[in-house]
Structure 1
C-alpha cells in the first residue's frame, strides 16, 4: 500500500509539473506572438517611410537607384501589412485594426507609385505637385495613429501574458521546492519499510539453506512469510528439496543407467572420431576443389582424395554436359578404365530415379546400360543440385553400411564443387562478351577462330569468315552524340543475332567493326546469307532520345579458309578485311567475296 501511495504522490507531482510547464510554454508562445506582431507592425511602417524617402530622393536627384529602393520598400510595406493581418487572426479587435492599417498602407503605396510613375515619365514637377497636396502626409498620420493603437493594445497583451508566464514559473518553483523534499521523504519511509519486510524472510530462508548444506535434507521453510512473493519462493524451495530427496533415493538406480549410457557414448565417440577424420579429409578435398580452375585440376584432386575416403573401391566421376546432354568422365581411379565418350543420362538408373542405385550380386537389381555386362556389383550415386543433374559417381564395388556416411558427405562435396566449377565457367562467359552489344568480344573471336582452324585441318570441312562494319558510323557520333552511336551498334547486333545461324559465331571486332565465324559454310553460301542480313539492316529505323537517326547500311567482306593460310587465323582475317575495304571502295552497302589470291599487300 505504501508503494501505491508513493506512486500516486509521484504521479500527482508529475501531473502538476506537466500542467504548469504546458501552460507556461503556451504563455511564452503568446508572448513571442505579441513580439512578432509588434515587430511586423513597426517594420511595415518603417518600410513605408523608407519608400517616401526613396521617392523624394528620386524626384530631387533624378537618380533611378532611389526609385528602385522606393519600389522595394513599397512591396515590403505591403507584405508586412498583409502579414500583420494574418498574425492577428486570433484577436478580433486587433485584426480589425490590422485590416484598417493594411487599407491605409495600400492607399499610401498607391499614392507613392503614382508619384513614382510621373517621375519615371519625366514629369518630375507633376510628381512634386502630387506630393505637395498633403494627402500622403494625411495618410501617414492615419497609419501612425492606427499603428500606435495596435501597438499599444499589443504591448498591453504582451505585458499580461508575461505576467501569466511569471505566475506559472512561480507555481513550478514552489512545486519543486515543496514537492521534491516531500517525495524524497515518502521514498525514504517506503524503503525502510520494504527493507524491514524483506530482511526477516531472507534470514529465515538462509537459516534453512544452511541446514540443508549441512546435510539435513528434511529442513523446510515455513510458508507464513506475510508476503505473497516470499511465500511462493518458500513453496518453490520446499518443492525443490522434496525433489532432491527423491533424486537421492533414485541415485542407486541411476548409476546403472549411467554406466550403460557411458558405454553408448563411448561407441558414439568412436564413430564421431572416425567421422571427424573423414570430414577433415573431405574438408581438405573441398577446399582444393573450390580452388580448382581447370577440369584437369579438378580431376587430379578427385583421383587423390576419393580413394582415401573410400579405400579399395575403384570408381569414376562423370559430369553432365548440358550442351551435349551426356555424362562425360572427369576422373577415374583404382585402375578403372572408362569410355571417354561418356553416356546419356537415361542409361543410368540412379539418374532416372534421382537416388542411389546399386547391384550387390548378380540378379539383385537392374543393371545400368552404361555398366559393362561383366560387372556383377557396382554403385551409382547421382549428383544433383536444385533438382538439376550435375553428374554421377560410379563405384565398382559394394559400399558397406559403415561407409554410407562417407559416401553421402563425399557426394555432397563433389556436387558442390561441380556447381562451383560450372559457375566459374559462367563467369568466364561474362569475360568473353562485349558489354555494349552482348556479342562475343575480340579475344573470344581469336580463340574460337584458332580452334575452328584446327578442326577444319582435321575434318576438311569448309570455314568462312566475314568482316563488316557500319558505313559512315562517325556521322552518328558527330551529329547525334556517342549515345546515338551506341544505339546503332546495339540495333545492328540484335539484327545480326536474329539473322545468322546458331552455329555462327558473331563477334564485335572493335569500334563499329564486327566479325562472323561460320563453320561448315563456303564463301558463296555465306555471302548469300550475309546479303539477306545487309538488306535487313538497311531497312532498320533506330530512334534515340526521341530522334530518328537515319538510314543504316553496312559493308561486308567474305572469305573462306584454305590450307595456304597461316594457322593462327591472321591471313584469314586480313583476307576478309581486304574484302571489306574493297566493298567500301566500290560504294559501300554491299557484300564482296575476297579470295586468298586477290589479297594484295598494302
Structure 2
C-alpha cells in the first residue's frame, strides 16, 4: 500500500510539473505576441502622428513603446530555463530596442515640428526592413516555443495515463487489504467484547461479585477486563463508604446553609449597590453625584466615616468630591504621590499604629484604609475610610469602589460630550445651536424680571481675502484669533458664539445697546491690533463690523426678531464702510 501511494504521489507531482511547463510555454508565447503587438501599435501611432500631425497619436505610441520594452524584459526572464530560447529572446530584445529608438527619434523630431525629417526617415525604409527582420526572428522563436509546448503536452499526457493505470491497479489491491484487516479486527473484537458485556449485565442485575476471568486474547481487552474488575471492586468499597458519606453530607449541608446566609446578605448589599450605581449614572452635576455618595456609602459601610477624592482636570491634585459619617475633607486636596494606595495601585491600610507606612495626607497616628479607584487600568481617584475594614466589609468595599469608578468615568464622559455638542470645534466658542437655546432662556428671564437684554451680530471684514490669498488654513487662524480676542474682552456673563462661517453673535444679559456699545468698541479696536501670522508668513491685519440691538416685549420669545435687528445693524455697518459699530436705528433714536 505504501509503495502504491508513493508511486501515485510521485506520478501526480511529475504530472503537475509537466502541466506547469505547458503553462509556462503558453505564457512565453503570449508574452512574445504582446511585445510584438505593442511595437506594431507604437509604429502605427508614430506614422499617424507624422502623417496627420495629430498629437493624439503620439502619447499612445509612447505608452506602447514602454509596454514593448517592459514585455521583452519579462520574456528574457521567462526563458532563463532554456538557453537556446533565452539567446533568441535576447537577440530579439536587441533588435526591438533598435526599432524602439528609431521610433522614439522620429517622434521627437515630429514633436519639435520637424515633420519633413520624420517623413524622410519613415520613407527611407530602414524601419520597415528592421521590422521585417524582427518579424522573421519572432516567427522562428514562436515556432520553436510551440514545438516545445507540444513536446511538454505529450509528456504530461503520458504521465497522466500512468497515474490512471496506477489508480486502476492499486485501488482494488488497497480495497482487498482493508477488507482483510477489517475481518480480522471484527473476529478479534466480538469474542472478548461478548465476555465483558455479559459480566457488566450481571453487575447491573445486582451481582456485584461478578468478575472477568476468561483470557481475552489481546492486550487491549485484557486491560479493559482488568479495568472492569477494578471498577467492580471499587463499587463494593463505595457501598461500604456510603454511610460515612451521609454523615459528611450533613456537615456539608450545615456549611452550605451558613454560606447561603452570607450570600443572601451579599445579595442585599449588591441590590443596594445596584440602586446606588443607577443613581450615580443618572447624576448630571458634581453636587448630585456627591449627594448620592453621601446617602448610600454609609448604608453600604455602616459606622465607617470617610471621603471620596478624584483627580482634578490637570491630574496634579486629588480634590474632595464629598465626605460622610462626620468626616470633613480638606478642600485643598493632596498630591497623588502623598497616597500609597495611588502609588501602588492597590489597597493600602494601617490597622494599628506603626503597622505600615502612613500616607502623607492623613495624621501620623491614624487608623485608616485607602482604596484606589481604577477604570481601564487608570487611577482616577481614591476612597479614604477611617478605621479597620473587616473581611465581609472588604467585599462591599471592592464592589462599591468599582461602581464609583464607573460612575466617575461616566460622569466625566457625559460632561465632555455636552461640551462637544455646545462648542464650536475650531474656535472653542459656543455654537449656534447653544446660542439659540440660551437666547430663548434669556428672553424668558428678561420678560419675567424686566431686566434689559441685548444681542450683537458681527463678522470679519473681507474674510474671503484671507482664504483666497493664503488658503483656508490661514482663514482658520484668523477666526481663532478673533474668537480669542472676543472671549477675553467680553464679560463672563456674556455668551459669545460662532454663528456660522466668519459671523459671530453675542448675547449680553442685563445691558442695553447703548451700554453695550462701549464694550463692543473696545473689542473692535482690539481686533484691529491683532498681528496675524501663519506658517511663518504675515497675513496682515483684520477688522470686524458690529451690529447691536436690544430686546423689547413686542418681539417674539424665540429671539428671531432680536437677531434680525442686530443683523440689520450689522448690514448697515458694512454699507457705511466696515470696521465700525452700529446700533439698531430705532433703539439708537
- Residues 489 and 106 of structure 1: is their aligned pair in 2 closer, same or farther, counting only changes over 3 Å? closer
Alpha-carbon displacement from aligned partner over 1:253-275 (angstroms, at most 9, x marks no partner): 22222123223333443554465
Q: CA deviation at 1:589?
A: 6.3
Partner residue of 1:428? 418
2:533 to 537, 541, 547: 541
Alpha-carbon displacement from aligned partner over 1:207-233 (angstroms, at most 9, x marks no partner): 332232233333344596454444444
1:381-460 equivalences under 5 Å are 385-386=373-374, 388=380, 417=407, 420-421=410-411, 423-441=413-431, 447=438
> Is 1:191 the equivalent of 2:186?
no
Partner residue of 2:257? 266
1:121 to 116, 120, 130: 116
Report the Cα distance in structure 2 between the residues aligned to 1:20 and 1:56, rounded to whole angstroms: 54
Please say if residues 385 and 415 of structure 1, whose CA atoms lie closer than 8 Å, have aligned partners that are also in contact.
yes
- Residues 529 and 245 of structure 1: is their aligned pair in 2 closer, same or farther, counting only changes over 3 Å? farther
Partner residue of 1:158? 149
Please say if residues 488 and 542 of structure 1, whose CA atoms lie closer than 8 Å, have aligned partners that are also in contact.
no
Report the Cα distance in structure 2 between the residues aligned to 1:321 and 1:53, rounded to whole angstroms: 78
Partner residue of 1:171? 162
Partner residue of 2:11? 20
Q: Secondary structure at the match of 2:540?
A: coil
Q: Secondary structure at the match of 1:204?
A: helix
Q: Secondary structure at the match of 2:496?
A: strand
- Residues 222 and 247 of structure 1: is their aligned pair in 2 closer, same or farther, counting only changes over 3 Å? same
Report the Cα distance in structure 1 between the residues aligned to 2:518 and 2:212, rounded to whole angstroms: 106
Partner residue of 2:499? 510
Alpha-carbon displacement from aligned partner over 1:287-331 (angstroms, at most 9, x marks no partner): 466456679998999999999x78x99x999998979956569xx
Please say if residues 289 and 298 of structure 1, whose CA atoms lie closer than 8 Å, have aligned partners that are also in contact.
yes
Q: CA deviation at 1:189?
A: 1.9
> Is 1:249 the equivalent of 2:249?
no
Report the Cα distance in structure 2 between the residues aligned to 1:40 and 1:63, rounded to whole angstroms: 31
Report the Cα distance in structure 2 between the residues aligned to 1:413 and 1:500, rounded to whole angstroms: 43
Report the Cα distance in structure 1 between the residues aligned to 2:405 and 2:100, rounded to whole angstroms: 89
Alpha-carbon displacement from aligned partner over 1:142-201 (angstroms, at most 9, x marks no partner): 778766655654454334323322220111011111111111222222222223333333
Q: Which moved more, 1:384-393 or 1:436-445?
A: 384-393
Please say if residues 199 and 211 of structure 2, whose CA atoms lie closer than 8 Å, have aligned partners that are also in contact.
yes
Q: Which moved more, 1:215-224 or 1:114-123?
A: 114-123
- Residues 481 and 52 of structure 1: is their aligned pair in 2 closer, same or farther, counting only changes over 3 Å? closer
Report the Cα distance in structure 2 between the residues aligned to 1:114 and 1:327, rounded to whole angstroms: 84
TM-score by length of 1: 0.59
1:128-139 equivalences under 5 Å are none
Q: Secondary structure at the match of 1:121?
A: helix
Report the Cα distance in structure 2 between the residues aligned to 1:111 and 1:598, rounded to whole angstroms: 82
Q: Secondary structure at the match of 1:249?
A: helix
Report the Cα distance in structure 2 between the residues aligned to 1:211 and 1:167, rounded to whole angstroms: 65
- Unmatched segments (≥5 aa) in structure 1: 1-8, 358-379
- Residues 569 and 382 of structure 1: is their aligned pair in 2 closer, same or farther, counting only changes over 3 Å? farther
Q: Secondary structure at the match of 1:219?
A: coil
1:53-68 equivalences under 5 Å are none
2:202 to 207, 211, 216: 211
Report the Cα distance in structure 2 between the residues aligned to 1:403 and 1:47, rounded to whole angstroms: 86
- Residues 506 and 216 of structure 1: is their aligned pair in 2 closer, same or farther, counting only changes over 3 Å? same
> Is 1:476 the equivalent of 2:466?
yes
TM-score by length of 2: 0.60
Q: CA deviation at 1:407?
A: 8.7
- Residues 384 and 517 of structure 1: is their aligned pair in 2 closer, same or farther, counting only changes over 3 Å? farther
Q: Secondary structure at the match of 2:533?
A: coil
Q: CA deviation at 1:25?
A: 2.5
Please say if residues 72 and 93 of structure 2, whose CA atoms lie closer than 8 Å, have aligned partners that are also in contact.
yes
1:27-38 equivalences under 5 Å are 27-35=18-26
Partner residue of 1:361? none
Matched residues, number: 526
Q: Secondary structure at the match of 2:430?
A: coil
Report the Cα distance in structure 1 between the residues aligned to 2:522 and 2:105, rounded to whole angstroms: 84
Please say if residues 568 and 584 of structure 2, whose CA atoms lie closer than 8 Å, have aligned partners that are also in contact.
no
Partner residue of 1:486? 476
**RMSD of Structure 2 on Structure 1 (CA):** 7.0
Partner residue of 1:202? 193
Q: Which moved more, 1:238-247 or 1:176-185?
A: 238-247
Report the Cα distance in structure 1 between the residues aligned to 2:413 and 2:44, rounded to whole angstroms: 83
Please say if residues 485 and 527 of structure 2, whose CA atoms lie closer than 8 Å, have aligned partners that are also in contact.
no
- Residues 325 and 402 of structure 1: is their aligned pair in 2 closer, same or farther, counting only changes over 3 Å? closer
Please say if residues 468 and 556 of structure 1, whose CA atoms lie closer than 8 Å, have aligned partners that are also in contact.
yes
Report the Cα distance in structure 2 between the residues aligned to 1:429 and 1:114, rounded to whole angstroms: 68
